[in-house]
Amino acid sequence: MRWIPTALFIFSTLGPGASAAIFTVKAGTIFYSQPKQSEKFRLDLPEVRVHVPPLRDSLGFCQFKLIYKRADRGNPQLPSHGWARCVATDQFISQ
């Protein structure tokens, strides 16, 4: 009978992992290729949304997974991730 609590524990840990929510970003948010506020690393992006929680955090900057509008999704030149201030998120869109 000792296997029942063990089995329950194992099955509870196999459940769905952490999920990400999609948020808009505040107007005027600038994304960078590195966690530094420098024109050298500034990304010129169309309108984007981001996955939260961020992938990484460094000195007040967070690396977000970028979500593009349908028309921009097929562009291979657009980066999949970008750095912005961690307070850049605005409104919750979906989960």
Average pLDDT over residues 41-56: 96
Give the model confidence (pLDDT) of 16-35 as tens digits: 555 789 999 999 999 999 99
Q: What is the pLDDT of residue 66?
A: 97
DSSP letters of 23-86? EEE-TT---BSSSS--GGGB----SEEEEES-SEEETTEEEEEEEE-GGGTT-TTS-SEEEEEG
Q: What is the pTM of this model?
A: 0.76
